[in-house]
Amino acid sequence: MEATIIKIFIPTAIAFVSGILITPLVAHYLYKYKVWKKEGGKAALDGTVAAVFNQLHKEKETKTPRMGGIVIWGSVLITVALLFLAKVFFPDSTIGSLAFFSRSQTWIPLATLVIGALVGFINDYYDVTQSGKGIRLRTRILFVSILSGLIAWWFYTKLGVDSISIPFDGTLFLGPFIILFFILMTNAIYASGVIDGIDGLSGGIFASIFSAYAGVAFFQQQYDLAALSATIAGSTLAFLWFNIPPARFWMTETGTMALTLALSVIIFMTDTLGDGNGISLFFIIGLPLIATVLSNILQVASKRFFGKKFFRIAPLHHHFEAIGWPSYKVTMRYWIISLMCAVVGLAIAAVA
């Protein structure tokens, strides 16, 4: 038991320290090359000008660098590489036993993290160099759909995953429709990446969620997956250290796409594959992300069918800003809610 706990905590600490150490170099280049939008402001979900958002955040967009997500996936890769080399050169040592890169548990979520990071990086690059015109949203959704479809196909055909777990009530058989379910789930979680909208908000939320799923995987004795989840949480905390208001940089797509895609795979792997309830638990653990997506859906539906806004501005965290909450108050209350959701989710995972 002690060895498995160490296997989770030590990589987390390495990822955090690595993130802290590489941030000055990353920040130096982000500021040197002025990696921020040259023109602030953005459009609303229906294509109109987002007047309230622009009033709140337009000025910051031309001063705060993007691509801060490099710190997250960069420190994860450094940690994986260091522990892999330790296993190669010191296979019988304690440090060598900390390596968690395995074909059965971590190579798919880790590969998904890297692929999402690269595509997100390309989007951010064009967003900065082409006056806010990154990869089209429909193209990104298509990419997410294809990637998640391939992953789901692998789980269904190679690993026999054809159902999702229901806490305390058995399983829901989906058969081949599990592929469509995973595509839809992944797109929904990817859409929640817009929570990266206030200094410190996304870092705290994602750190809580990945920490919770590290615990879920640990209960299922998927120790390598638990170590990867905890490592991502540690790297996200390193990012958060520099993203607390006033943010030195923003996560943007290279961070949010990497995290949301990796999270989708981890959620899937902690369900029937791990003899657990990873998908159902997300409705508790991931409540802040779910609220973000639902608020966008409600806003668009209300404007389309009733001709008026449901919120002052969507997603929900910006609505709270618009009605007068200071951004730090929104962020800290979201952190509290996220932590409590993680605790409740872990409690259910422990007994379900």
Identify which of 7-21, 83-97, 308-322 has the greatest average pLDDT.
7-21
Q: The tokens of 106 are what?
A: 């971590």
Average pLDDT value for residue range 8-17? 97
Q: What are the residue ranges spanned by the domains of the chain?
A: 2-351
Average pLDDT value for residue range 268-290? 95
User: pLDDT grade, residue 37 (50/70/90)?
Assistant: confident
Is residue 49 pLDDT above 60, yes or no? no
| Structure-model confidence comparison of residues 52 and 110, the more confident one | 110
pLDDT at 161: 95
Is residue 99 pLDDT above 80, yes or no? yes
- Please state, in angstroms and rounded to a whole number, the distance separating the CA atoms of residues 154 and 158: 5
Residues of the chain with pLDDT > 70, as a percent, come to 93
- Please state, in angstroms and rounded to a whole number, the distance separating the CA atoms of residues 225 and 210: 11
Helical residues (DSSP H) of 90-200, grouped into ranges: 107-129, 137-158, 177-191
- Please state, in angstroms and rounded to a whole number, the distance separating the CA atoms of residues 302 and 159: 42
- Please state, in angstroms and rounded to a whole number, the distance separating the CA atoms of residues 326 and 295: 20
- Please state, in angstroms and rounded to a whole number, the distance separating the CA atoms of residues 79 and 92: 19
Weakest mean pLDDT among 57-66, 107-116, 305-314: 57-66
- Please state, in angstroms and rounded to a whole number, the distance separating the CA atoms of residues 352 and 347: 9
Weakest mean pLDDT among 61-65, 149-153, 162-166, 291-295: 61-65
pLDDT at 134: 85
| Structure-model confidence comparison of residues 243 and 4, the more confident one | 243
**Tens-place pLDDT, residues 205-238:** 999 999 999 999 999 999 999 999 999 999 999 9
pLDDT at 52: 64
- Cα distances (Å, whole numbers) of residue 300 to 27, 54, 135, 187, 287: 36, 18, 22, 17, 20
pLDDT at 337: 98
Count of Cβ atoms closer than 10 Å to residue 240 Cβ: 25
Is residue 284 pLDDT above 90, yes or no? yes
- Please state, in angstroms and rounded to a whole number, the distance separating the CA atoms of residues 82 and 75: 10
pLDDT at 307: 87
**Tens-place pLDDT, residues 318-336:** 999 999 999 999 999 999 9
**Tens-place pLDDT, residues 107-157:** 999 999 999 999 999 999 999 988 767 899 999 999 999 999 999 999 999
Exposed/middle/buried for 297, CB within 10 Å: 0-12, 13-18, 19+? middle
Is residue 339 pLDDT above 90, yes or no? yes
Using alpha carbons, select from 288, 280, 241 the residue that is nearest to residue 260. 288
Residue tagged 């996200």 (tokens): 236
In this structure, the chain runs to a length of 352
Is residue 71 pLDDT above 90, yes or no? yes
Weakest mean pLDDT among 11-25, 89-103, 114-128: 89-103
pLDDT at 112: 98
Using alpha carbons, select from 18, 4, 20 the residue that is nearest to residue 100. 4
Q: The tokens of 206 are what?
A: 């994602």
Consecutive H or E run containing 25: helix 2-32
pLDDT at 41: 60
Average pLDDT value for residue range 27-33? 95
User: pLDDT grade, residue 196 (50/70/90)?
Assistant: very high
Residues of the chain with pLDDT > 90, as a percent, come to 78
